[in-house]
Amino acid sequence: MAKSFGAALTAAFLLLCSGTPAGAAPAMWRVSGGASEVYLFGSMHLLDPATAWRTPAYDAAYAKAGVVWFEADVVPIDYAQLRELVARYGLDPDGRLSERLTPRERRTLDSILRRSGMRPADFDRLRPWAAALALETRPLRSRGLKVEAGVDVAVTREAKTEAKSIRTFETIEDQVRMFASLPDAAQMQYLRESLREEPSPGRRSPLEQDWVRGDVARLSRDLVAPMRAESPAFYDMLLKRRNLAWADALSRAMAVPGVQLVNVGALHLMGADGLPALLTARGFTVERVQ
Contacts of 29 (CB under 8 A, 6+ apart): 17, 39, 40, 269, 276, 286, 287, 288, 289
Which range, of 57-71, 127-141, 196-210, averages the lowest pLDDT? Answer: 196-210
pLDDT at position 269? 95
Mean pLDDT of 184-212: 78
pLDDT at position 121? 83
Integer Cα distance of 278 and 221 in angstroms: 19
Q: Where in the chain does DSSP place strands (E)?
A: 28-32, 36-43, 67-70, 165-168, 258-265, 285-288
pLDDT over 60 (residue 15): no
Yes or no: say if 116 and 203 are a contact pair by the CB < 8 Å rule.
Answer: no
Mean pLDDT of 32-42: 96
Domain ranges (residues) in the chain: 2-74+147-170+205-288
Helix (H, G, I), strand (E, B) or coil at 60: helix
Higher pLDDT, 15 or 54: 54
Integer Cα distance of 276 and 273 in angstroms: 8
pLDDT at position 149? 85
Integer Cα distance of 263 and 28 in angstroms: 9
pLDDT at position 9? 36
Mean pLDDT of 253-282: 96
Mean pLDDT of 71-80: 84
67-70 sheet: strands from edge to edge: 165-168, 67-70, 258-265, 36-43, 28-32, 285-288
Helix (H, G, I), strand (E, B) or coil at 94: coil
Mean pLDDT of 119-135: 89
Task: Write out pLDDT tens, residues 216-246.
Answer: 889 999 889 999 999 999 999 999 999 999 9
pLDDT at position 130? 93
Mean pLDDT of 107-111: 91
pLDDT at position 83? 86
Higher pLDDT, 104 or 138: 104
pTM attached to this predicted model? 0.84
Query: What is the number of residues in the chain?
Result: 290
Nearest Cα to Cα of residue 128 among 233, 222, 45 = 233
Which range, of 61-70, 129-138, 266-275, averages the lowest pLDDT? Answer: 129-138
Among 24-28, 48-52, 265-269, name the most confident range: 265-269
Yes or no: say if 14 and 270 are a contact pair by the CB < 8 Å rule.
Answer: yes
pLDDT at position 205? 66
Task: Write out pLDDT tens, residues 146-166.
Answer: 888 889 999 999 999 998 999
Average pLDDT, the chain: 85
pLDDT over 60 (residue 1): no
Higher pLDDT, 125 or 6: 125
pLDDT at position 117? 78
Higher pLDDT, 76 or 284: 284
DSSP assignment of 20-46, as one string?
A: --SSSS--EEEEESSSEEEEEEEE-SS
Bridging pattern class, strands 285-288 and 28-32: antiparallel
